[in-house]
Structure 1
Amino acid sequence: GSTALRDAVQATYPKAITLYRHMERPGIPAGYENWDVYCLIRDPFDRMVSIYNYMTDFRPTSKPGGGASAAWIERLRNDTDRPFADWLADSLEVFTDPINYDGTFLPYYNVMEKTPIARKSQYRWARPDLGPVTLIDIKEAVHLYERLGVKVQKTNASVRQTRPEQCDKVQSILEDRFQWDLKAATKFHIEEREYA
């Protein structure tokens, strides 16, 4: 996941900095706007299942910027204490929020858009309307790692291996909320820099 990629980049490039954990493209700091932009894209069903499982089994990281409060962990677990289809339909959990629910503030987790994660399209991160972006299927992330010259060790994967059914209710929600994602997941441009 993003933790493993961050660790690999920082190991290879010690002066690299990670200002934010899951910031959307409009929040990329000034000065970086001329850099190549890559966005790992995942099939929306697979992405939602992964997030659901991660939230259910959340374990705080000991890495810098980690240290989620017990209140936040409980909130995530309570949000996913229901069948996947119901969670997808009704969850209002933003998931990435700098307010740590114990009175602390963690700027590292700041995002611009407080959309619940079960409703947030990957478009919010890719934002092809802001300039060229290379979309890479997350299953082919090795291509990004090669371009960056890093070796990524998979860590912090959710321990749950639940695979909910992609029933009609789930499919309807995906088609309603994630039209861009569904289209993007079938149209990757590893060689081309621009996606429209």
Structure 2
Amino acid sequence: MPLESPAALEFLLSRRSRPAKTLVAPVPTREQLMLLLTAAARSPDHGKLEPWRFIVLEKGAMSRLAALTEDRGHALGKAPEDITKGRNQFDLGQLAVAVIEVQKPSEKIPTIEQTYSAGAVCLALLNAALAAGWGANWLSGWVSHDRVFCDQALGLADNERVAGFVHIATEGTAPPERPRPDLNAITSWVSE
């Protein structure tokens, strides 16, 4: 019989990201954040490559990133509403962890598995923050895919890209529950 963890299962069955725009101060201390990063780093990692790293974006960095987002949005010809949306995650952000995918050469581990691992780290960090009582949200958006932004804002190497920005702070207003997938519509069973 497997060892059960009813509290963990109940958390996973009821977990809910909190909209980043509703997150307010205070944020986790560095010690509290290191515990969350430790949990995230226990994600599946075939070959033990550690194909990811963390960049912690504190409040003081947010205005610089917001301004760079606006500059890049104009340079790319983005619509004003897209620029505003891109800016808002930094203008309103209290603290975020940029999870950086780091593609590493490997004869055994395909690059797609390294990408999956970085995504798993994002979800693990999000869930760790929520389980610790913080509000949290995993965002990306056009800025995370703009190479110039990533180079200027985060100093990424050629083999690196943003897997996501995980915003962590105190939950403001709780969001309403939203519809969930119809499991019967998306599940197949193979018996033979």
> TM-score band (shorter)?
under 0.3
Which has more helix, going by share of residues?
2
TM-score (norm 1): 0.24
Which is bigger in relative contact order (C-alpha 8 A, separation at least 6)? 1
Which has more strand, going by share of residues?
2
TM-score (norm 2): 0.25
Larger radius of gyration: 2
